[in-house]
Structure 1
Amino acid sequence: MSCASDSTGIYNCRDFPSLFALPGYIQASRALMIAAIVFGTFGLVATLVGMKCSKIGGENYVLKGRITAIGGVLFLLQGICTMIAISWYAANITQEFFDQFYPGTKYEIGEGLYIGWSSGTLAICGGACLLCACKVNNPNEKTQYPYQPSSRGHVLSAGAVTQSAPSNYGRNAYV
């Protein structure tokens, strides 16, 4: 329903005959927001699968990096769809509000638009961070591991090896 009140406090309401009778920009904004929800859901699943700490996908970090990059692209698409839908709706609301000859109900920008703008910005920033953070290594590239000493506790030194004089004591001679 579309309701409006006058200065005396009387409400005048009229029914929309159908959901498809809404203006075209509202239907397009609705479709873009549904697409944003779908992109965000698949982006979240792809990001969770692509994390190094998840067991899904095994130890193939090249594949996990690519899946994480796909999640970042999906988050970017979510943010772009959200920003287009919210900004288009806000532009039409503002245009109708300042039009003196507009015969319909005049709406104002509300809190939902600000929440939409902030969520779109966060989705774009999150997708960009995911794309920048997931370094896709070449499969032929070897990963450098830090030096691990052997299990016996002997550490090899890079210095010159000196030989000591043989002693008359065996291994068990010490107290």
Structure 2
Amino acid sequence: IAGSMFQEIVAFVLTTSGWVLVSSTLPTDYWKVSSLDGTVITTATYWSNLWKTCVTDSTGVSNCKDFPSMLALDGYIQACRGLMIAAVCLGFFGSVFSLVGMKCTKIGGSDKNKAKIACFAGIVFILSGLCSLSACSLYAHRITSEFFDPMFVAQKYELGAALFIGWSGSILCILGGSVFCFSITGSFSKSQTNYVYKGGVSHSHISSYTRGQAKSATERPPAENSSSSKIQHFDKNVYV
């Protein structure tokens, strides 16, 4: 029990940290970044995320422009938005289910029910990590394909810091969810072992009880012999 409880605590720390990283990735500015270098200093830095595109000059002043319409956006940006929002929502519900299913908490019912809830929380966290991983990978694929395309004449961008944060959070969510799923194996194996052990004990008690009954039956003298001995003794007294 102590080992599985320690595994659940480690899994909860991993998944919660991953969910926080994934949630912080969604409003982060630098999903992709590009710069125009001058002779001495950088004259302008262009960066963009899922919600707006901006430019920052050498004095630190930023001018941003929000995306005008969701329906007019590129398909990959819409897909990334949906996947990231789904990852954040799944991580929230996974955190709630993990608190209910952990053995160190006093809610959730029996150990078997808590193990099922913990396994479900691990699956939810794995799905959250996969959604975030897919969104960051899709966005990075679009950046790299445009960067290495010789026919692409527009401004080229590079990978931003938000993508690396999202990948890190996704890996933590997947690892923590897997640990949650593997931590319940001890509970089910323990319950099966107890069931077999109890069955063997009951069988041994029944066998010993049967042997004892048979032994007492063989050692007990028959009723007819006892009655006949009484009659013979009575007859002897009469003749005397």
Fold match by TM threshold 0.5: yes
In 1, the alpha carbon distance for the partners of 2:152 and 2:117 equals 49
Higher relative helix content = 2
Cα deviation for residue 106 of structure 1 reads 2.1
- Equivalent positions of 1:2-81 (< 5 A) are 9=43, 16-58=67-109, 60-81=110-131
Cα deviation for residue 134 of structure 1 reads 1.5
- Could you report, residue by residue, the CA deviation over 1:4-63 in whole angstroms, capped at 9, with x for unpaired residues? 8766647798774323322100110110111111111111110000011212223x1110
Cα deviation for residue 130 of structure 1 reads 0.5
Could you tell me which runs of 5 or more consecutive residues in structure 1 were left unpaired when the two chains were aligned: 145-175
In 1, the alpha carbon distance for the partners of 2:127 and 2:161 equals 23
Alpha-carbon contact 2:83-2:132 (below 8 Å) kept = yes
Alpha-carbon contact 2:76-2:139 (below 8 Å) kept = yes
Q: Is the deviation greater in 134-143 or in 33-42?
A: 134-143
Mark the CA change 1:7 to 1:117 in structure 2 (over 3 Å): closer, same or farther: closer
The TM-score, its normalising length taken from structure 2, stands at 0.51
Where relative contact order (Cα < 8 A, 6+ residues apart) is larger, the structure is: 2
Query: Quick one: which amino acid aligns to residue 149 of structure 2?
Result: D
Mark the CA change 1:109 to 1:61 in structure 2 (over 3 Å): closer, same or farther: same
Q: Percent identity?
A: 45
2:136 alignment counterpart:
86
In 1, the alpha carbon distance for the partners of 2:190 and 2:181 equals 19
Matched, 1:97 2:141: no
Q: Is the deviation greater in 95-104 or in 21-30?
A: 95-104
Mark the CA change 1:23 to 1:52 in structure 2 (over 3 Å): closer, same or farther: same
Bigger radius of gyration: 2
- Could you report, residue by residue, the CA deviation over 1:101-151 in whole angstroms, capped at 9, with x for unpaired residues? 32444221011111111111111100111100123528974489xxxxxxx
2:235 alignment counterpart:
none
Higher relative strand content = 2
Cα RMSD of the aligned pairs, angstroms, is 2.9
Query: Quick one: which amino acid aligns to residue 184 of structure 2?
Result: C
Query: Quick one: which amino acid aligns to residue 35 of structure 1?
Result: A
Aligned length: 141
